[in-house]
Amino acid sequence: VTDFHTAVIGAGSAGLTVAVGLAGFGKKVALIEKKHIGGDCTNVGCVPSKTLIHLASHMVEYNGAENKFSSAEILAKVRERRDHLREEETTWIKGVKNITVFEGEATFVNSTTLSLKLSASEQTITAQHIVIASGSSPIVVDVPGLPPGRILTNESLFDVTQPPNHLVILGGGIIGCEMAFAFRKLGSEVTIVQRAPRLLDRLEPEVSDLIQTRCQEVGMNVSLNATAHSFEASTKALRLEQQGKSVTVPNVENVLMAVGRKPNLEFGLEKAGVSFNEKGVPTTQSHKSNVPTIYAIGDVSLTSAFTHTANAQGRRVVQKIALPFLPQGKEAVYPSAVFTDPEVAYVGEPLEKLKKRYHPELIRTLRFELKKTDRGYTQGLEHGFILIHALRLTGRILSATIVAPNASEMISLLTLAVNKRISLYQLANIVFPYPVLSEAIKKLSDQFVFATLPKLPQELLSYLRLRWTRG
């Protein structure tokens, strides 16, 4: 007999989903959180960053025009909204039937027992199932000479009260690029230092090109193929190493670390016999670790790095534990969004990766510029496109990328198409309200249909020849 049916380590997106889901099935749940309810998303991730992006976009024009609020007021409002949500979530979760919230740090004693370090006491609890949802932390790289007071991470960024005069962002991935646009709008000089040859290098190259262009248009500095070498405190100069050359970035006030995340694993996993590596806890499709009663989901797993994917995995664990005999398919293909200006949203793999699974000639790539849609014209849109990779002949969509002002809202139709195998033939028949940017999906689908149907016999032969041949 255990104290709890399930114990959940971490009350972020992943942990909250499991705790609330299982409690809804009448299971007795212990939810343990050592910092703040809501985890990174509510406190130092999605919520403050998206609030900042929204307020900065609506209150400030790049480098100029009259502002409704000062940058300092915007930063204060970000904290206000974040704190309000944190308090709301904390009050709510403490009132959920069947959940006991422990505010403290959990450590494994063995595979069914946790030791809890609470503010004024220690306690041991046992549980039939344990879900590790401990999240991740920012990686901080060593830059010789850089004083700790000049270093920012996502954990301290939203506590700054004034935008830095000159913010250097190490890392040109999602977090780095999003914060670059936001702080530029607040009036900071922004320099992105990216080790890879392009920004957002895990996405399609077309996206990197467009975002690079936008960075230049709004007056940011971007150093590609570059790493931070050292900092000279007296002159506030950051020295970069860029393809064998030394480059100096002057007058640097703060350096934001956005080079990647590391899983939070320091709570005695070895005592429970749970295997892990530097990337996190490997799991099965049902999110079980090598110990079948211990699960790992969200950022601490190897397969999730977003709030919506943490939530999706949490829901799968709830189903697995509460309804173990219900069949559970593979994980869906999850979409993701990057809240730059314009936004980027994608689902499925970029072309480079697809070519490793399919013969390159089997993949049809279609691109439509949004300014060629009527809505793009009426909006005077300059940048933006939809890119789809589909199988020739069948029109099955393998992956899609949208760059548009509201790409994050437009990607769901294509996510559905990828997961439910809705083909380009079917998308060509969808009627969109007029005028919308999503009409580009129909135009793309038409392109495919008109390129395929008139040559059907050749397409069929090519498809059969290439289908089982890898690239």
Ligand X SMILES: Cc1cc2nc3c(=O)[nH]c(=O)nc-3n(C[C@H](O)[C@H](O)[C@H](O)COP(=O)(O)OP(=O)(O)OC[C@H]3O[C@@H](n4cnc5c(N)ncnc54)[C@H](O)[C@@H]3O)c2cc1C
Q: Which residues bind ligand X (CB under 6 A)?
A: 9-15, 32-35, 39-41, 45-46, 49-50, 105-106, 133-136, 154, 175, 264, 267, 298-299, 305-308, 310
Question: What secondary structure letter does DSSP report for 250?
Answer: -
- Which of 402, 424 has the CB closer to ligand X? 402
Residue 297 Cβ vs ligand X, minimum distance, rounded to whole Å: 7
Which of helix, strand or coil describes residue 101? strand
- Which of 45, 350 has the CB closer to ligand X? 45
- Which of 264, 289 has the CB closer to ligand X? 264
Among 50, 24, 39, 36, which residue's Cα sits nearest to residue 298?
Answer: 39
Sequence-ordered alpha helix ranges (H) in 71-192? 71-94, 154-157, 174-185
Cis ω for the linkage preceding 435 (within 30 of 0): yes
Residue 287 Cβ vs ligand X, minimum distance, rounded to whole Å: 12
- Which of 342, 395 has the CB closer to ligand X? 342
Residue 145 Cβ vs ligand X, minimum distance, rounded to whole Å: 26
- Which of 30, 424 has the CB closer to ligand X? 30
Collect all residues with Cβ–Cβ distance below 8 Å to 292 and sequence separation of at least 6: none
Which of helix, strand or coil describes residue 302? coil
Residue 402 Cβ vs ligand X, minimum distance, rounded to whole Å: 16
Residue 104 Cβ vs ligand X, minimum distance, rounded to whole Å: 7
Residue 135 Cβ vs ligand X, minimum distance, rounded to whole Å: 2
Q: Determine which helix (DSSP H) or strand (DSSP E) holds 118, and give its type and residue range.
A: strand 113-118
- For residue 226, report the phi and psi dihedrals to the nearest 5 degrees: -130, 150
Question: What secondary structure letter does DSSP report for 332?
Answer: P
DSSP secondary structure of 333-381: --EEEE-SSSEEEEES--HHHHHHHS-GGGEEEEEEEGGGSHHHHHHT-
Residue 428 Cβ vs ligand X, minimum distance, rounded to whole Å: 31
- Which of 41, 402 has the CB closer to ligand X? 41
- Which of 252, 259 has the CB closer to ligand X? 259
